[in-house]
Structure 1
Amino acid sequence: MDKYGTIMQNSGLPGADAPKSSQYSTVAMSEQLTIEYLKHCRDLTRGFAYRVFPNFWREWCKQILEVAEQAKSNKDQVALYEIQNLLNAVQQAAEQEFCQHLANGYVKFKNKSLNTLTGEERFSGDILSLVEHSDLEETIAITSITHRADNFFAENLWALQQRLALLNDGEKIDERTNPASPVQFCEALRKVLTNLDVDVKTKIIGYKLFDQDVIGVLGELYDELNDYLIRQNLLPNLRFVVAQEKSEPVREEAIQDGPFEQHQTESELQQQALDAQQHQRRASDKLLSGALNPNDIQYQNSLLNAIRLLQTHVTQLMPAIQASGFTGTIAQGGAPAANSAPANAPVAATPNTPPAQLQVYNSNQLVGVLEQMQGQAYHLSQQALADHDSGPVAIPVQTVADVSRQMMQQIASENVNGAVEASDMQTIDLVGMLFEYMLSDDHLPDSVKALLSYLHTPFLKIAFIDKGFFEQPEHPARVLLNSLAEAGVRWVSNDGSDQYDIFTKIKTTVFRLLHEFKNDVRIFAELLIEFNAYTNNVARRQELMERRALEKAQGEEKLREAKLQVNHEVRSRTDNREMPSAILLLLLQPWSDYLSFVLLRYGDKSESWARALKAIDDLLWSLEPKTTQQDKVAQMELQEPLRALLERGFETIGYEQAKGRKLLDAVASLQRMALLSRKAEPAPAPMRSKLELLAAEKAGHSSAQQQPVSTEEAKIVDSLKMVEFGTWFEFGGGKRLKVAWYNKKTQHYMLVDQQGRKVSLAAGLQLARDMIAGRAKIIAGSTKPFFERALENIYHTLNERADNLKTGAVS
């Protein structure tokens, strides 16, 4: 990837492209420097959140208490008191989760995957009737907050987004892709509240206070971020100028402060405005030209429009192909109609039927044909699973070609002259490509693919029954397919196992749809509510198990951090210094354990910690041969207090008394030698190496970490630091583990399985080596719903199909 941020003049007109003459300069931006800047911005954002979030939360609890005191019934009052107690109890955890969500936004920004939906984008269309009222109220509250904040902080936000664009390879930033925009803060709070059992009225109170105590003071953060980026010489002379009749500002460098000048005249700006309007006229035009823009508000609808246009385009190309001798029908097992029929021409169920004798099936007749096929699919799947009551078992996949062939054969069996309109064949083609994509999805386990393949016929039916099926991203049928696919990826493994009986639930849902779906599309909404209720409960259980594993791992990591710090303190005093065996053993084993205890109990700023470290210095000094009377007197005064301190340390950690006395006697003997100006014999090199290796491993240093780190390994370790929580790794044998937490001090990654159980705390270096050796890989995945990913794939497939047809026509 090119790591250069190009600074361009901005005309101030939405969508206008900057002319080449307006380019300022190209500033080299290394990967390391970009990460450094983003990490500092992330830390500033997190620091701001830690400052303002506690006050907001306390005010919220206080407000709930006031509402409770004015409650009209004891029941309402008790409920509010319980909520207030809950919020008090989880404040610290909520604060940490809130800040973590904001920090993750910078990781997504770095990976170019940050695209947080604004309020009004969450729900639209007829699906609103299925959305819970509480979700809608919450969305309205967030929309109101973000709109006000975007307008109030317009100048600061605009400047920040211009500077962040330089850290994004020069690509434009908006509120959805700006990790510090108001919508990111609202989204972080929404995620925190999702995990709390709080009613919508209480949430609305919280959002009002959040608007006042957090969003209202975002100007402080934007000043800090802009000031920092200015100090890094990122657009230091940027000015904010509001263009006439446009809400977007103009970026302008002060001429007296820099070598750049602005040469755009008013006529040029007007021309750019016209170009912008032409450029933005139809999203589908942009899609057809290859300029995919996932930030379009109507992206999925525009994508579908583009697919429809491509289907028509492909159909129009067919006469030239047919003139060169190409013929075929679906009944013969060929491609769908868009590949085998000229524009507006029906496709016959049997080959070589004269056009005058064709009897075209209407939508109702096609639904009748599909009804019979659906019954056959149900009986076929039931027969395949007759001997298997549970578990992900292999059943035959219902291929797209099989469904198409069965449909045309069914029509032919009813009417030898039966035919299907080209427009209806496009719908059949589109549903077929949807299921082709599903069957080719590498992330979906084969057992789930086989089950979902039997939904091909019901989805063909609904495409004819409900014309808005493809046009509505929130259509219950589409959302149900998204949920089934997501659950399959998340809880069913490629080795045939599943978690929480998810496979059984998917199977039950598929069979109910096959058995019960006639012409009433409400069955999809009913199954969607039922299936999502089940998976939401599973997700909560998984999250609870994962949270418990995380708490345990964090405790273990805290101990490991202490041991690493202790090992560092001891080794900094013993390395490059000859040591008797007994003293080396004392420092690396019992005294290191005592230091760990003191560090965890009292901290590294305590007097106890200072005394324990000073004991090492005093002990080592007392073993050095004394040549002056003054040093001998000092040592005599030191010996008894030092022995007493060592004894108390051994007792504190429960060190075995016999071993402790033996070590203390050895210390006394060595100190007598020092008073006689004699030097003790150092530990043999093999013994010393073994003791130091054991101490290092006990502190958390693996033997692999002691080996030299290659440039490639260091690069991967550095990139792993930007990995977002929730990222999945796939290891040899198909086992998948998720990154649930990362300890930046020890550089350990907590990996959990699909049930949320901790599997390991893996060192970043070991992960890097596994990736290089091919033993592990990051599963790319996507935050987009299955259906949207499928439409994108269909669009590209049709593009390739059109190109192939053009090539065939020319040849």
Structure 2
Amino acid sequence: MHIDGKVVPLHKTSDDQATPSPLARLPVVLTQVRDKAALQLKQGLQALFDNADDTLFEMADKAQNNVDQNTFFEAMRDLRLKRKSIERGFLQRFFEAFDGLGQYDTSEPTLSKAVDYEALALVPNDELERTVALDAMVAKVLSRDGFALGQLSTRLNALISRRVDDASNPMGPAMLCDYFLEAGRDLGVEIKVKLIILKLFEKYVLSDADHLYAEANQLLIATGVLPELKAAPARRTSDRSSASAGERQAPAASVKPLDESVQEMFAALQELLLHVRGSVAPKLEAGSEVQPISTNDLLRLLSHLQQYVPEPSSPEDFDLRNQLEQLLTRVSVKSGKSRVVGGMDEDVINLIAMLFEFILDDRVLPDSLKALIGRLQIPMLKVAVLDKSFFSRGSHPARRLLNEIASAALGWGARDDHQRDALYVRIEQIVQRLLNDFVDDPAIFSELLAEFLAFTGDERRRSELLEQRTRDAEEGRAKAEQARQRVQEVMNARLLGKTLPEVVVRLLQEAWSKVLLLTWLKQGEASAEWQAGLQTMDELIWSVDPQDPVDARLKLLELVPGLLKALRDGLASAAFDPFATSEFFSQLELLHVQVLQQLAKRSAEPQTPVPAMVEVVEEIVLSAPHERLSDETTFELPADDAGLLWVRDLHIGQWVEIREDEDSSLRCKLTAIIEPGGKYIFVNRTGMKVLERTAQALAVEFRRGAVRLLDDALLFDRALASVIGNLRRMTTR
């Protein structure tokens, strides 16, 4: 599941709620507190979901029967499908709670009550288990970080009129648990799975509450909000969960001990790697004394090699295993002993080398970015040597950094000027920083990941804003086209085949069509205004060609004043040129005088000049602004055509690559499918429209191999799955 890395507050006012006054808006510093906290909470949720699969898979593996095993597998699937909606729902409720701080509290204050365990005996067992678990989670945070939370509540009360306590504080554990439960209320999982997910929420979100409150208090102190309050004591390292401590307190120059699940995962990989072991060995005469080098010595050798990684112009020339082998040979010759890498370390080297072989051969990753990512082989190898959970933990900072870089680069086009592009420059800075500064402390990956997520979050918000504008414009254009077609239909139905004064035909085609167009767009076809517009057109046509009905002259005299007023009002509402309007009405007046004279039969010849008459023999086609020549196919593909079925499976947000010619291709994201007409609108990674196709045209391009779907699955995960698949095939030969 791809995480888009963005926090976009949706500040909506319900229909029955009055618009808040400016006095009810949040102070700027509270907005900063909210946004900073939202970023940390979002990262905690991502870590939760990244690890949920591993946890549930492990539970399924240990299940005593098929029923329990299926329960955990179904829960994994349900979480994957609903992950994004839960993250969005949680953050939306968090933002809404902060918005509520700016509203005046007109309700009576109520005291929060402790859980009554006797009363809980009356509720269903599932609800009881959940409530007890939640109460324990909240109590643990309050006992551990209650002092800092209390200070935060005090500072909030100094800024807003609404009173908050630890239970109603938007950043308090009770509220955070409430947001999470509400966001995940549609999860169709059993209570034992819900309790596991709640424990993960405690481990990856609530365990970092001290950082949440410390940063919020610091922001408020920096702006002068109750700086005199005594600072909260720092939480002991032992108080943190083991997972959080592992990420923040990375070992320096020491290998992280393997826990049971990591050990099992890596042992399984080692079994697959057995037949390629021995490929990293010095080239010395047979019979030389063999002496393995320690892991710390290996890290020193890799740090030496790290200084000689080639520039991005030729990453394929850097063979990691070959370079290390040459270095081992030089060390061995100098020492007189055959220095070899230990079995576990060699397995890590081979695995990283194979992963990067996949990455550098990946069709999804753009070539210009491959060159940069290829330079990360040694830093990634070093962190994998230090911490084997790199291969088993999806939330590992180094692994996530690699995935986030690849995800951000998905829409990178071959024609992009990478030397000037902000994304390329930022990735280049990350690569250079790792090559220059990473020795043996993996904490640098967490720091760089946080910075990169903040950068891509800003980029994504800008592109989504432009994307929304693109969608709005395309939907407006489609609606205008629909209106134009409808106006053409009603005009042709009334004019085609008739011979009418030229001025009337021009008036209807050039002026009244605009009135009808605006009426259809604003009021709709079922409106009284649309029917009135059609009636005015019918009356105008009849008024210049009454076909000698009974009492036509009397009817015309009664009709003309109202007709002229309706015409004048309609043209004014459409902002039609007043000079052209005046000319039309002058000519129309002469026409009506002539018709009245003819009806009165005052003379055989009309007393006014005969108007120019035209016969409408061709369908009226109204011009559309910025009309382009269609590049669509001229035939219809059958409904079961393979290309058409592929197109209909496309979803909003998916990336495709379209080959424009032999030398260039375009990467773009499907942002909208416009109905009617089924137009597919594509944008580039900045959100700007770059392509428009019908389903038929896309299907034809798919059939001739000119368009393909880009796999947006996580790069490292795809690479690892491919390598494991290749190793399994090699072992079965």
Smaller-chain TM-score range?
A: 0.5 to 0.7
Match of 1:725 among 631, 652, 656: 652
Q: Distance in 2 between the 1:187 and 1:133 partners? A: 10
Give yes or no for contact 2:266–2:391 (8 Å, CA) kept in 1: yes
Give yes or no for contact 1:738–1:751 (8 Å, CA) kept in 2: yes
Query: Given the two structures, how large is their TM-score scaled by the length of structure 1?
Result: 0.55
Whichever residue aligns with residue 311 of structure 1, its letter is: L
Query: Which position in structure 2 is the counterpart of 1:368?
Result: 300
> CA 1:748/1:59 → structure 2, altered by over 3 Å: closer, same or farther?
closer
* 2:540 aligned with 1:610: no
Q: Alpha-carbon deviation of 1:197?
A: 11
Query: Which position in structure 2 is the counterpart of 1:122?
Result: none
Post-superposition CA distance 1:717-746 (Å, at most 9, x none): 676465322223434232323233333245
Whichever residue aligns with residue 636 of structure 2, its letter is: V
Query: Which position in structure 1 is the counterpart of 2:86?
Result: 186
2:308 match: secondary structure: helix
> CA 1:589/1:301 → structure 2, altered by over 3 Å: closer, same or farther?
farther
Give yes or no for contact 1:582–1:663 (8 Å, CA) kept in 2: yes
Post-superposition CA distance 1:313-360 (Å, at most 9, x none): xx1xxxxxxxxxxxxxxxxxxxxx34x67xxxxx64116523x63223
> CA 1:138/1:414 → structure 2, altered by over 3 Å: closer, same or farther?
closer
Query: Which position in structure 2 is the counterpart of 1:37?
Result: none
Give yes or no for contact 2:170–2:176 (8 Å, CA) kept in 1: yes
Query: Which position in structure 1 is the counterpart of 2:341?
Result: 420
Give yes or no for contact 2:262–2:388 (8 Å, CA) kept in 1: no
Match of 1:795 among 714, 724, 730: 724
Give yes or no for contact 2:411–2:667 (8 Å, CA) kept in 1: no
Query: Which position in structure 2 is the counterpart of 1:709?
Result: 636
1:794 match: secondary structure: helix
Q: Alpha-carbon deviation of 1:613?
A: 1.8
Q: Distance in 2 between the 1:641 and 1:446 partners? A: 70
Q: Which moved more, 1:708-717 or 1:536-545?
A: 708-717
> CA 1:706/1:357 → structure 2, altered by over 3 Å: closer, same or farther?
closer
2:394 match: secondary structure: coil
2:292 match: secondary structure: strand
Match of 1:531 among 439, 448, 452: 452
* 2:429 aligned with 1:429: no
Post-superposition CA distance 1:680-708 (Å, at most 9, x none): 966364xx35x42xx16459796567955
* 2:361 aligned with 1:440: yes
Q: Alpha-carbon deviation of 1:764?
A: 5.0
> CA 1:139/1:672 → structure 2, altered by over 3 Å: closer, same or farther?
farther
Query: Which position in structure 2 is the counterpart of 1:470?
Result: 391
Match of 1:734 among 657, 665, 668: 665
Give the % identical residues.
23
Post-superposition CA distance 1:265-322 (Å, at most 9, x none): xxxxxxxxxxxxxxxxxxxxxxxxxxxxxxxxx999998776444323xx1xxxxxxx
Give yes or no for contact 2:681–2:692 (8 Å, CA) kept in 1: yes
Give yes or no for contact 1:445–1:494 (8 Å, CA) kept in 2: no
Q: Alpha-carbon deviation of 1:201?
A: 5.0
Query: Which position in structure 2 is the counterpart of 1:395?
Result: 313
> CA 1:361/1:492 → structure 2, altered by over 3 Å: closer, same or farther?
farther
Q: Distance in 2 between the 1:492 and 1:476 partners? A: 27
Whichever residue aligns with residue 293 of structure 2, its letter is: Y
Q: Distance in 2 between the 1:193 and 1:447 partners? A: 40
Give yes or no for contact 2:413–2:665 (8 Å, CA) kept in 1: no
Match of 1:349 among 278, 282, 292: 282
Post-superposition CA distance 1:505-534 (Å, at most 9, x none): 111111111111111111222222222222
Whichever residue aligns with residue 652 of structure 2, its letter is: F
Query: Which position in structure 1 is the counterpart of 2:321?
Result: 404
Q: Distance in 2 between the 1:206 and 1:182 partners? A: 19
> What are the within-5 Å matches in structure 2 for residues 25-64 of structure 1?
none
Whichever residue aligns with residue 404 of structure 1, its letter is: R
Q: Distance in 1 between the 2:504 and 2:675 partners? A: 33
Q: Distance in 2 between the 1:410 and 1:706 partners? A: 60
Q: Alpha-carbon deviation of 1:556?
A: 4.7
Query: Which position in structure 2 is the counterpart of 1:514?
Result: 435
Whichever residue aligns with residue 186 of structure 1, its letter is: I
Q: Distance in 1 between the 2:500 and 2:474 partners? A: 36
> What are the within-5 Å matches in structure 2 for residues 585-734 of structure 1?
585-622=506-543, 626-630=547-551, 633-635=554-556, 637-657=558-578, 659-660=580-581, 663=584, 665=587, 669=591, 672=595, 683=615, 685=617, 688-689=618-619, 691-692=620-621, 695=622, 697=624, 703=630, 707-711=634-638, 720=647, 723-731=650-658, 732=660, 733-734=664-665
> CA 1:360/1:577 → structure 2, altered by over 3 Å: closer, same or farther?
farther
> CA 1:623/1:353 → structure 2, altered by over 3 Å: closer, same or farther?
farther
Whichever residue aligns with residue 465 of structure 2, its letter is: L
1:415 match: secondary structure: helix
The alignment covers a number of residue pairs equal to 543
2:315 match: secondary structure: coil
Give yes or no for contact 2:306–2:435 (8 Å, CA) kept in 1: yes
1:497 match: secondary structure: coil
Give yes or no for contact 1:499–1:755 (8 Å, CA) kept in 2: no
Give yes or no for contact 1:307–1:798 (8 Å, CA) kept in 2: no
Give yes or no for contact 2:90–2:180 (8 Å, CA) kept in 1: no
Q: Which runs of 5+ in 2 are unaligned?
A: 1-9, 53-71, 100-167, 195-259, 602-609
> What are the within-5 Å matches in structure 2 for residues 124-523 of structure 1?
132=40, 136=44, 174=74, 186-190=86-90, 202=170, 205=175, 208=178, 307-312=269-274, 315=275, 337-338=276-277, 348-350=281-283, 353-354=286-287, 357-377=289-309, 380-381=310-311, 395-399=313-317, 402-416=319-333, 417-491=338-412, 493=414, 495-497=416-418, 501-523=422-444
> CA 1:60/1:786 → structure 2, altered by over 3 Å: closer, same or farther?
farther
Query: Given the two structures, how large is their TM-score scaled by the length of structure 2?
Result: 0.60
Q: Alpha-carbon deviation of 1:493?
A: 4.4
> What are the within-5 Å matches in structure 2 for residues 751-770 of structure 1?
751-759=682-690, 767-768=698-699
> CA 1:524/1:757 → structure 2, altered by over 3 Å: closer, same or farther?
same
Whichever residue aligns with residue 742 of structure 1, its letter is: I
Give yes or no for contact 1:713–1:765 (8 Å, CA) kept in 2: no
> CA 1:766/1:517 → structure 2, altered by over 3 Å: closer, same or farther?
same
Match of 1:779 among 709, 725, 731: 709
Q: Alpha-carbon deviation of 1:454?
A: 1.5
Larger RCO (CA under 8 A, 6+ residues apart)? 2
Give yes or no for contact 1:301–1:471 (8 Å, CA) kept in 2: no
Q: Alpha-carbon deviation of 1:794?
A: 0.9
Q: Distance in 2 between the 1:299 and 1:574 partners? A: 80
* 2:675 aligned with 1:744: yes
Q: Which runs of 5+ in 1 are unaligned?
A: 1-53, 69-73, 88-130, 145-171, 223-241, 248-297, 316-336, 342-346, 382-393, 807-811
Q: Alpha-carbon deviation of 1:445?
A: 2.0
Post-superposition CA distance 1:790-811 (Å, at most 9, x none): 11111222234335xx2xxxxx
Q: Distance in 2 between the 1:684 and 1:582 partners? A: 13
Q: Distance in 2 between the 1:57 and 1:299 partners? A: 48
Q: Alpha-carbon deviation of 1:755?
A: 1.7
2:672 match: secondary structure: strand
Q: Distance in 2 between the 1:188 and 1:496 partners? A: 34
Q: Alpha-carbon deviation of 1:652?
A: 3.1
